[in-house]
Structure 1
Amino acid sequence: MDFLDYRPQLLYQNDEGYDIGPLSKDQKYLALSKSLNTNDSNLFLYNLENKEKTQINKEQSANNGQDFTPDGTALYYTTDFGNEFSYLMKYDITTGESTKVMERDWDIMGSYFTKDGTYQVTYINEDAKNVIEVMETATGKNIDLPSFPNMDITNVGFSDDENMMRFYAGGSQTPSNLYVYDLETKEQKQLTNVLNTEIDQNDLVSAEVIRYESFDGLEIPAIYYKPHQASEANKVPALVSGTWWSGGQSGQNFSSFIQYLVNHGYAVLAVNNRGSSGYGKSFYKMDDLNHGDKDLKDCVEGKNWLASQPEIDSDKIGIIGGSYGGYMTMAALTYTPEEFDVGVNLFGVTNWIRTLRSIPPWWESFKDALYLELVNPNSADSVRLRAISPLFHTDKVTKPLIVLQGSKDPRVLQVESDEIVAGVKKNGVPVEYVLFEDEGHGFVKKENQIEAYSRVLQFLDVYLKGDEGTPIKDGESIESDI
């Protein structure tokens, strides 16, 4: 689009369901990718002048276009071919040759050049934490970035003249603030202070990366948040939190919801069960066609790890999660009904057949890959989807449950939560249902977040912590439309 008169010009029409990658500065080349499964994809170079498309990768692997060199002669891309983790490659457009230019012990998640190519910025997912390297292209050496106690730089950008850098810095115990940094004088200035003034920074806790052994000996990474007041003399209740999307990762980033719960006396263990990204492609693929089984067992072992900690009340451990994590919550209450004491389900999948059949149009390029991971809901194999869908096994649920849902959710439809609440209610189990009429997949309005977090806390205080309150009678369902 021309930003002087806002007149659009069609460069490429995506009729074949590709994911659109970077565009070269001269607008001659476009990178396209096509998902093969949830990990692997083919990468193509598309010539916008002659309409020719060239496949860059020779073998099946995860391939993602990152950026063209400023002179448009090469494309940088990430791949995991022959390796557990993604590394950075350079594809020479003239010769068609690819060479490895950067590799780390973790996934390289992204890389781009500044406007004139003075710097190359690379993002690395290092043990669930975002690490940034800024390399001076003329020397091949990384520049020194500002440092902060207990915080990391999470994102950077450069001015057009490449003399100034803006960056965000934050940590698990503080939301990110925006800074500007003069690359010549090394002077920096903080532009924002986003932490609510009513919150004492010292009341927030730093996350700790821990690892524990699962049922089959596999090492599972997790992020542990321990309340300041927790001790062997003052044991606290705890929650296991599953990843919030299939193939996702719980990171060492700030979460207002988790800090809210921890501040009110709940330890939280955010489990990166098998199938989570960031720990190698073998680990990532371990839950394919196995959802609701081994990944759930990893969460149960996370509960066992919590129970072994001296500061945790082992008789008061629940499970919480949203989206896929909500599915894990319902799977836990359904298939391992005696393991957790309560469940918190935020817009979780409960009927895989319906969810996969209602994939929104903007997921079309990823649909076939999801089917390979979970099963095609329109095939005879869909019998397996029914077996792992909690909705069809609600008679097994025996522990208190709270469900939160947005009525405009296009991914997990409201009917999912309507039906799971109705099914569990038949068991004489306390159920609370909070429905937001003006929310979709996740709660973005501040007043709704406050209401949602408060309702979850009230529920946990009664049914997990055991504080005096107004518990729901067995079989009673409190339903709220907000």
Structure 2
Amino acid sequence: MSSDRAAAPHRRWRADALAIWLLLPALAAAAPLVPGPQLIADGIPSFEEHAAAAREEPSAPRFVGWHPLRTEMLVLARSGTRTQLHVLDGPQLKRRALTTGADPVNNAQWEPARGDYLVFSRDHGGDEAYRLFRLQPGSGPALATPVAITPADARVSDFEFLPGRDKAPAGLVYLLEQLDRQVAKAGERVSVTRLMWVDPQQPALARQLGEVRGGRFTSLRVTAGGAIVVTRIQGGRSQLLRFGLDGAEPRLVGAAAKVGDAGDLAIEGDDSGEDGAQLLWQRQAAQGDFRHVQRLDVDSGRRDALLTDIPADLEALAVPRGAGLPLALVHNEAGVSVLRLWQPGGSAPQRIDAALAAGVITNPRWHPSLPLLAFGHASASSPGRIYVYDKSKAVMQVWAGAEGDDAREPTEYTTLRWKSFDGLEISGLHIAPPARFKGPRPVYVSIHGGPASQSRPGYLAKGLYQLVNELGMHVILPNVRGSEGFGKRFVNLDNGRQREDSVRDISALLDLIAGRADMDATKVVVAGGSYGGYMSLAVAVRESARIAGSICRVGIANFVSFLENTESYRRDNRRAEYGDERDPEMRAFLQQISPLTHASAVKKPLFVVHGRNDPRVPYGEAQAMVQAVRAAGTPVWFLTAEDEGHSFTGKGNREFLQQASFEFVRRLVNGQPLQPVQTAAP
């Protein structure tokens, strides 16, 4: 059904909404909250803005990278309605904006020799079709104009400068992926990735170094001699290919390695050994159940697994450019990031994060020429800070913190554990409501996406915090089978025909809730995004009698149509996780377990949220599920964003979604009618 027909019943409301949106500052605080001009609120009744929900969520800066010569860093932070690129000259100094626009910046790198200019990536309307731009920041207050250096009809999935050191760099290497819209007229939908070289100052001279059709290059890293990429081959194995800059055939680096669906083979950096050998550092579960650091000699192909005695996943590592500095290792220990420094061949790793609250560390990176290690850190008390560890002084310093923090009380997490249908122990994080809420309280179950992701003890999102402190709800963040952080075996327990076993893990959680005196098992709301959106729909089908309602954000409704319509560059990876829909038996199985097949079993209210430009889970998944559930007589709220993709990044869109979600849950747990509006089918 066409999108024009879907939107027709709402054109007048959207026009009125635009007028009201422009007048919002002049309206009284108790006036009804209306969606912004890019939102379609279908079947969602009018509701008033909630004072607590109206408070702006703290904006956390994200560390991107160091300048090659100066003590300054690139930072992504909210500017206006979207995330933009800034430069930070030192600790606690005011950031200087480098970009503006309607679309957020995704990543950036300085030219590595002198830092005369930088290259950044951004998509359009949340479509994840990232394009590269060159930017030469000026010295005045006016922002410089970016120059596009890659085509608009393809997707850059990764990019990296070749080492510049003390001379002019040899250019930039990037991975360019074909989009389905490029070949839609010809009817050929196949994954194509090209390895490209370009001089960012002469983009017209870009040339191809390699190509894979029906597959994908990932994990791009560069050495002085060229580029190294990972590509998956038959039998669930991946191999490393080394490409020179001369366009010659690539060379295989070492032997192909068996990898799990969690992608445990990941290139993290490269360095030169004392004898001049090119060394590549990786994270891989080569021995045992967890990822460890692995050293690979690029020339000989020899692999050495190191520090295998640490019983935790290595989730990140930073390789220094200069000699004498240690590797920085980040391990996931029971969901908490642990940061250590380690000199290969030296003593045991030294933990250096004692001054940090328990939380999650991201993107550790050494300065190219100074003993400074930067990284991001989020915890229950902060949505995100940027820290710098000075190795020469053994001092940890905050460079930037969140803006708009409402100084709320830190969230207190505890761990829930329960046995699933097959005796497997499942765990999740639990946040209890304040003591002022007496008696059995409602429960909100929030399921992470991925599927190979993990709920961790970071800063609780404003919407969840509001449920705990205003509605007095228990919030449970389960880590069902298939979640990362518990070893390779656990992460593969939901693959293929085992898919519904993870749904049964939530059924077992509902059993736990029913047996607790402090929880009201008659008022359970289940929610999730992406894969968590599928889980919320699957629970709504399987456990409709035991929940009060569910929220599905950008979720899979039908595995077959999802696999057939997701972007081709993603399809093979998703088939490895969910199953190949081209096989008749697997196709029948995927149809049978899809929530859309059993939409009539959804008897409790449903809230569906989706971005029109989502390249991962096509918008049609939401349309089909909404239509089928409404046809069975169950009320559905349906929120569409025409300028978003797989997530809501625009400030106004995000805030309306948060308040609408709160209102949906509030009405469910208070027994109030949802006031469904009868509209044309989407």
**Same fold, TM-score > 0.5, yes or no:** yes
Of residues 489, 499, 502 in structure 2, which corresponds to 1:282?
489
**Secondary structure in 2 matching 1:438:** coil
Q: Distance in 2 between matches of 1:245 and 1:360?
A: 16
Q: Is the 8 A contact 1:43 1:65 kept in 2?
A: no
| Higher fraction of strand | 2
Identical-residue share of aligned pairs (%)? 20
Please list the CA deviations of residues 269-296 of structure 1 after superposition, one character each: whole Å capped at 9, or x if unmatched. Answer: 1111112222122212211223652111
TM-superposition CA deviations, 1:418-441 (whole Å, max 9, x none): 221222122332221112222111
Tell me by how many angstroms 1:408 deviates: 1.7
Given the alignment of the two structures, is residue 15 of structure 1 paired with residue 218 of structure 2, yes or no? no
Q: 1:29 to 1:149 in 2, by over 3 A?
A: closer
- The one-character-per-residue Cα deviations of 1:159-180 (angstroms, maximum 9, x if unpaired) are 2333333333321342111233
| Larger RCO of the pair (alpha carbons < 8 Å, separation 6+) | 2
> For 1:421, which of 620, 626, 631 is the aligned residue?
626
Deviation at 1:143, TM superposition (A): 4.5
CA contact (8 A) 1:64 1:79 kept: yes
Task: Specify the alignment match of 1:179 in structure 2.
Answer: 387
SS at match of 1:69: strand
**1:254 maps to amino acid:** Y
Residues 1:66 and 2:268 are matched in the alignment: yes
2:290/2:314 contact within 8 Å kept? yes
Given that 2:522 and 2:547 are in contact with CA atoms closer than 8 Å, whether structure 1 keeps it comes out as no
1:6 to 197, 201, 217: 201
Give the equivalent residue in structure 1 for 2:378. Answer: 170
Q: Is the 8 A contact 2:418 2:427 kept in 1?
A: yes
1:220 to 406, 420, 426: 426
Q: Tell me: CA distance 1:295–1:409, structure 2 relative to 1, closer, same or farther (3 Å).
A: same
Counterpart amino acid of 1:341? A
What is the number of residues matched between the two proteins?
469
**Cα distance, 1:144 vs. partner?**
5.0
- 1:24 is displaced (CA, Å) by 4.3
Task: Find the residue that maps to 2:506 and give its secondary structure.
Answer: helix
1:352 is matched with: 559
Q: What is the CA–CA distance in structure 2 between the aligned matches of 1:246 and 1:452, rounded to whole Å?
A: 23
Change (3 A) 1:279 1:393: same
**CA 7–359 in structure 1, closer or farther in 2 if over 3 Å, else same:** same
Query: Structure 1 stretch 151-160 or stretch 263-272: which is displaced more?
Result: 151-160
Offset at 1:213? 1.0
Q: How does 1:330-369 map to 2 (within 5 A)?
A: 330-363=537-570, 367-369=571-573
1:443 is aligned to: 648
Q: What pairs with 1:459-470 in structure 2 (closer than 5 Å)? A: 459-466=664-671, 468=672
C-alpha displacement at 1:443, in angstroms? Answer: 0.7
- 1:176 & 1:480 partners in 2: Cα distance? 42
Q: Kindly tell me: are residues 262 and 70 of structure 1, through their superposed partners in 2, closer, same or farther at Cα, counting changes over 3 Å?
A: farther
1:405 corresponds in structure 2 to: 610
> Alpha-carbon deviation of 1:105?
0.6
Deviation, 1:137, is 5.0
What residue is the counterpart of 1:160 in the other structure? 368
Pick from 491, 495, 516 the counterpart of residue 309 of structure 1.
516
What is the CA–CA distance in structure 2 between the aligned matches of 1:258 and 1:35, rounded to whole Å? 42
Contact 1:433 1:478 in 2 (8 A): no
Aligned to 2:240: 44
CA deviation digits over 1:40-85, x for unaligned, max 9?
5423241526644225245523433332223452222232235211
State the 1:478 CA deviation: 7.4
Structure 1 residue 479, shift from structure 2 partner: 9.3
1:212-258 Cα shifts (integer Å, max 9, x gaps): 11121101121222222476x34321122222122222222224143
Q: 1:175 corresponds to which letter in structure 2?
A: P
Matched, 1:211 2:417: yes
Separation in structure 2 between the aligned mates of residue 11 and residue 143 of structure 1, nearest angstrom: 43
In 2, distance between residues paired with 1:242 and 1:93?
Answer: 40
Question: CA 1:225–1:12 in structure 2 vs 1: closer, same or farther (change >3 Å)?
Answer: farther
| One of 184, 189, 194 as aligned partner of 2:402 | 194
Query: Which residue of 2 is the match for residue 384 of structure 1?
Result: 589
Give the counterpart of 2:675 among 472, 475, 478. 472
- TM-score normalised according to structure 1 size: 0.88
- The code of the aligned residue for 2:528 comes to G
Residue in structure 2 matched with residue 54 of structure 1 by the alignment:
252
Q: Which amino acid aligns with 2:603?
A: T
In structure 2, C-alpha distance between the alignment counterparts of 1:168 and 1:480, rounded to whole Å: 45
Alpha-carbon spacing, 1:419–1:177, altered in 2? closer, same or farther (3 Å): same
Q: Whole-Å Cα distance in 2 between the matches of residues 144 and 282 of structure 1?
A: 27
Structure 1 Cα separation of the partners of residues 514 and 621 of structure 2: 32
Change (3 A) 1:411 1:152: closer
**Partner-residue secondary structure (3-state), 1:286:** coil
Residue 7 to residue 20, structure 1, CA distance change in 2 (3 Å)? farther
The answer to whether residue 239 in structure 2 is matched with residue 32 in structure 1 is: no
Alpha-carbon distance, 1:325 to partner = 0.9
**TM-score, normalization by structure 2:** 0.63
Residue type at the aligned position of 2:562: T
Output the amino acid matched with 2:383. P
Unmatched runs of 5 consecutive residues or more in structure 2: 1-160, 162-168, 172-198
Q: Aligned pair in 2 of structure 1 residues 295, 434: CA closer, same or farther (>3 Å)?
A: same
Q: 1:187 to 1:112 in 2, by over 3 A?
A: closer
Cross-structure match for 1:121: 328
SS in 2 for 1:440: coil
Query: Cα RMSD over matched residues?
Result: 2.9
Distance in 2 of aligned mates of 1:186 and 1:14: 45
CA contact (8 A) 1:43 1:64 kept: no
Secondary structure at the residue paired with 1:329? helix
